[in-house]
Chain A
Amino acid sequence: MCETCGCGDPHLVSVEVRERILSVNDRAAAHNREHFAAHGVLAINLMGSPGSGKTAVLEATARAFAGRGGVAAVAGDLETERDADRLRAAGIPARAITTGSACHLDAAMVHHALHDEGLQGARLLFIENVGNLVCPAVYDLGQAFNVVALAVTEGEDKPLKYPVMFRKADLVLVTKTDLLPYLDVEAGAIDDALKRVMPAPVVFHVSARTGDGLGRWFGWLEAQLAARGDRDATHPAHGHQH
């Protein structure tokens, strides 16, 4: 370029875009969501730390709902079929998603799993996420609701330390309440912490071991199923062309 008069200098222009960055995952999640809606599937994304009791709650739920059919699960873990095995033993079709080293499920992994024949016909689909209180919160899977399991053994301040996860939660299950007598943990302090990260927290205290409080959780699921209406349940869960 010319050093005397600047001729030939490139021009710089400023362009306002102001757009939300919609990730590749957001697009895949929207695709899952459309199909869940089209086929009347209530999809629940169950998240929580490793060992927070996600699988135990789902086992109890599977036993309670298995008789009526139409309930299925996918279970994410880095390795092994263990959770899917437990859920099948509890009476529902279940498929494992082994993520290798990924610390969360993403919408494409769930989409791939949905083509499993064993999951066809499900009206209530649980997606048990990888045990992790951070990354799963950021990956939309196309679910209708996010449910977070938080064990009393994790302490009272987890919601304050992991606000992104709890802000995304529609419902929190405070689990393993049968252990409270052995801990220096107040159930009320957990509720208080949740109120500082969630504007209108819906919280059920449950013990999958004794069955305490599970009735409210089952009732909540029934209410969500009823709210979806009795759409034609004979559709395959995910039969479509790409």
Chain B
Amino acid sequence: MLALLERVEEAAAAHHALAVHRVCVQVGDLSGVEPELLDSAFGIVRGGTICEHAVLDIERVAARWECATCRRALDAGERLQCPSCGGPAALAAGDELLLGRLELEVP
């Protein structure tokens, strides 16, 4: 959480921003981060910072597995082994914890 705030403050300073209006993050279902807890933590740590009145926009990303070899997509709950070629699956999406976009108020 503090790392997120630090990174936002850094970007805001680079653009000589007066305030941060919106912070957009992507949180994968397998990232181990619970969006609601992230949001409530943000509400606590933003006090007194350039993010004081910022909205945290959280986009949840569902877990998506595909075959590492032939790229065939796997259904949720399926064995993580390609039904076509037998290769092990790779996570295509769902473990991200990304700072995406910022809306900054500039002079």
Residues of A participating in the B interface, judged by any CB pair closer than 8 Å: 10-24, 26, 135, 137-138, 160, 163-164, 167, 192, 195-200
Are A17 and B89 also in contact (CB < 8 A) when A12-B21, A12-B105, A199-B80 are? no
A18 and B89 form a contact (CB under 8 A)? no
Q: Which residue of B lies closest to A197 (CB)?
A: B80
Which residue in B11, B77, B98, B107 is a CB contact (below 8 Å) of A15?
Answer: B11
CB proximity of A41 to chain B, nearest CB, Å: 25
Which residue in B3, B31, B81 is a CB contact (below 8 Å) of A22?
Answer: B3
A199 and B101 form a contact (CB under 8 A)? no
Residues of B participating in the A interface, judged by any CB pair closer than 8 Å: 2-4, 7, 11, 15, 18-19, 21, 25, 30-33, 63, 65, 68, 77-81, 88-91, 95-107
A196 and B100 form a contact (CB under 8 A)? no
B100 and A18 form a contact (CB under 8 A)? yes
Q: Which residue of A lies closest to B25 (CB)?
A: A21
Which A residues are CB-close (under 8 A) to B15?
A: 13, 15
Which B residues are CB-close (under 8 A) to A135?
A: 32
Which B residues are CB-close (under 8 A) to A167?
A: 30, 91, 95
- Complex: A138 Cα to B80 Cα, angstroms: 21
Are A199 and B65 also in contact (CB < 8 A) when A21-B25, A163-B30 are? yes
CB proximity of B34 to chain A, nearest CB, Å: 10
Give 10 new A-B contacts, CB below 8 A, not counting A12-B103, A15-B103, A199-B80. A10-B19, A10-B107, A16-B100, A20-B96, A21-B4, A21-B99, A24-B2, A24-B3, A135-B32, A199-B65
**11 residue pairs bridging A and B, Cβ less than 8 Å apart:** A10-B106, A11-B107, A13-B104, A14-B103, A14-B104, A17-B11, A18-B101, A160-B77, A196-B79, A198-B80, A200-B88
Which B residues are CB-close (under 8 A) to A195?
A: 79-81
Which B residues are CB-close (under 8 A) to A22?
A: 3
- Complex: A190 Cα to B107 Cα, angstroms: 60
Which residue in A10, A16, A23 is a CB contact (below 8 Å) of B101?
Answer: A16
A15 and B25 form a contact (CB under 8 A)? no
Which B residues are CB-close (under 8 A) to A26?
A: 3
